[in-house]
Chains A and B, each alone.
Chain A
Amino acid sequence: MIGTGERAAMDETVRGAIADALARGDGADVDGVLAGLAWLEILDGDRDAAIEIVFRALGAANATATPLDDVLASALGHEPRADLAVLLPRFAAWQPPGRIADGDVEADGVATARVASAARQILVVCGTESEPWSVVVPTNDVEAQVVRGVDPESGLRAVRARGMRSSAARLDAAAWCSAVALGRRAVAHQIEGACRAMLDLARSHAMERVQFGRPIARFQAVRHRLADTLVAVEALEAALAAAREQPSPETAALAKAIAGRTAQTVARHCQQVLAGIGFTTDHRFHRYLKRTMALEGLLGSADAIVLDVGRRLLADRRVPTLIEL
């Protein structure tokens, strides 16, 4: 396990390395930076710390990289490696992206930029949440279309894959749910990093922007928006800490839902505080807004998770507290 001091140092190193890479211009190879930082070894050594530090840093820098493939591959029992991608479910969904039909496995989902670059194979999970199978498909055999969407820089691809039923292997019953849980925590940390960054941008703007002869940070309407933003971000951090300390599919699902809600709250308030400049591409805010909109759809949107959680509570007629002191 990584100690607190070491963790802070690692946090700084990762942030610094990513910032340096981004400063060198567009098309930065952030995956290369992570490889240089021995990301896979850290993931293997202290998974929780690795995920927290790396994904939060990616979110904070609005960097595009593909460590989510490694997180999911390792949770699905594969040795994570740069040439292995993992197929994600479609926007907002979290069920296995593949279906077993006749002699084939058909899949329809999204993947990180890795599917179109370093990956030679993509891991496709099919079947149901409780009865998952997996099949490894050569990336040469998949159709991968760039998703421009709201955030063309996200690197995401829409992927259709086909595999042979006979090559599918049965996974442990809990494997998919565990992978989704871990992936959700990773994505939620990335959203958390982006939310902090948006708050920092809005706060700086409020302190510097002068209207009516004073910084707009003096106006209570502005202060209260920023206060509500901080409340939301801190609540998300707490939910993520709870998901780490008391891990379960449920605490991870709730953390992801809270991340989605938080991103909306933060973006709404920060954009309003940034006002005109936040509506232009001259200011960095728009990148965070768009990235969080894209991330919101990975491994279950807030709306979809909230509905699912509510249905379960009603079906069981029981409201568990999940975390204890």
Chain B
Amino acid sequence: MSFSKSDRGDSPSTTDLAAYRAELHAWLDAHHEELAPRSGAPRTLQARVAQMQKVKSILFDAGWMQLGWPERVGGRGGSPMLRTELGAALAARDLADPGLFSLVEVLVPTLIDFAPPVLAADVVPRLLSGAELWCQGFSEPDSGSDLASLRCRAAPRGGDAGTATEWVITGQKVWTSLAQFSDRCVLLTRTGPAESRHRGITAFFVDMHSPGIAVAPLEMLNGELEFAEVFFDDVVVPADRMLGQLNGGWAVAMSILPYERSSCFWQRIAYLYRRLQRLVDVAPEDDRAAEAIGEAYVQLHALRARSRATQHRLAETGAIGAETSIDKVLVATAEQTTYDAVRRLLPGTVEMDDGVAGDLWRSEYLYSRAATIYGGTAEVQRNIIARRLLELGSEE
């Protein structure tokens, strides 16, 4: 659950980070025309994905996207906090949706830590430059919070796991974000006996254009098709696309946590401050509004303080773990509080406004209801806090 020290570069001082931030913002100011969405805020997921890929491509050409990633995968080295600052700057300027942009943070480390080096060096730059889009195939219809019960099967072609040059995958995934746009998938499969749980899972890097893959997008309650069901029907994958060890897929899945709970959260937080700013731009100047806005701001501040501490701990010790369930609970709560304030202070906007503002607020408000569900439900987080942090023993 930790990354190796060499991959993270040295922990930067706050002064260095401030200088980097200033330089980055100056560059973003100078290139605003080029980076901004062409016709206002993108109103569809497809437009948001296109906007993100455009931004990634521009940033890659200018060298920003490679900062904070190791040179052996085409990066320019340096602390991962440089990536965090970049993602947060984009979110704060509404240049890229942090939910989409920060997927890089959970996908690239997997490749760096678990893919054959040649593969990682080949594909990582394609993701960073916006040439490709990847997805994560973890959840299944019968495996949500209980991920270790997953059943999507991978079998060695010819029957011998040790010598097989190809694997054959059959089964189904669900809630796979951006599957319909994706070129690759980090996929968790069952390779051990059905009852082997987390000891019998193997990860593969699967080409989404392979024969036998069918993607059926699911409509979310805000009308968008962000995630999909993905069906695998005898999909052949070369053995050198295995990520990590045979039956070592659980380690791959768990290795994502530190990235998801540090950099991704900081980007999300920047986005939430931006959303509160948008609310403050239009809210009535009365005490009811002041209370609701003050409340959301106080929660965002506590969350930001916590997330900052988490990231410095990660930079200093190289590891974070169960205690980030606290960060997760705080993110979800602050996000919902912020959008609750939107609904209270702009009555009718979410519910009845068919204009641009209504569409945006409605879509985001409805999406915010999932904050306590995705990435580990609020209940699972509280179970982890109770067992691992408060040491209350097992529930049985």
Contact = CB atoms under 8 A, between A and B. Distances in A.
B305 A218 contact: no
A44 B151 CA distance: 64
A192 B160 CA distance: 59
B277 interface: yes
A140 to B, nearest CB: 42
Interface stretch (B214-222, B251-259, B282-290): B282-290
Given A310-B294, A325-B14, A235 B306 contact: yes
Interface string A304-324: 011111110111011101111
B17 A325 contact: yes
B290 A239 contact: no
A310 B276 contact: no
A322 B392 CA distance: 36
Interface stretch (A11-19, A87-95, A219-227): A219-227
A217 B305 contact: no
Contact of B308 (A228, A242, A311): A242
| Interface of A, helix, strand, loop or mixed by DSSP | helix
Contacts of A321: 270, 273, 304
Contact of A227 (B303, B385, B393, B394): B385
Contacts of B301: 239, 242, 251, 254, 258, 322-323
A238 B305 contact: yes
A310 B17 CA distance: 29
Given A242-B305, A314-B290, A230 B390 contact: yes
A199 to B, nearest CB: 8
B326 interface: yes
B14 A324 contact: yes
Interface in B365-390: 379, 381-383, 385-387, 389-390
Interface size class of A (residues with CB under 8 A): 35 or more
Interface in B64-108: 81, 84-85
A223 B285 contact: no
B33 interface: no
B205 to A, nearest CB: 31
| Interface of B, helix, strand, loop or mixed by DSSP | helix
Contacts of A323: 301, 304-305, 308
Contact of B392 (A203, A231, A235, A308): A203
A305 to B, nearest CB: 8
A8 interface: no
Contacts of B287: 307, 310-311
Contacts of B305: 235, 238-239, 241-242, 323
A71 B67 CA distance: 45
A231 B326 contact: yes
Contacts of A215: 393
A258 B285 contact: no
B356 interface: no
B21 A318 contact: no
13 contacts: A223-B386, A226-B386, A227-B329, A227-B383, A234-B326, A239-B306, A241-B305, A307-B290, A313-B280, A313-B290, A314-B283, A314-B289, A319-B297
Interface of B: 14, 17-18, 21, 81, 84-85, 266, 270, 273, 276-277, 280-281, 283, 285, 287, 289-295, 297-298, 301-306, 308-309, 311-312, 323, 326, 329-330, 379, 381-383, 385-387, 389-390, 392-396
Interface of A: 203, 206-207, 215, 217-218, 220, 223-224, 226-228, 230-231, 234-236, 238-239, 241-242, 251, 254, 257-258, 261, 305-311, 313-315, 317-319, 321-325
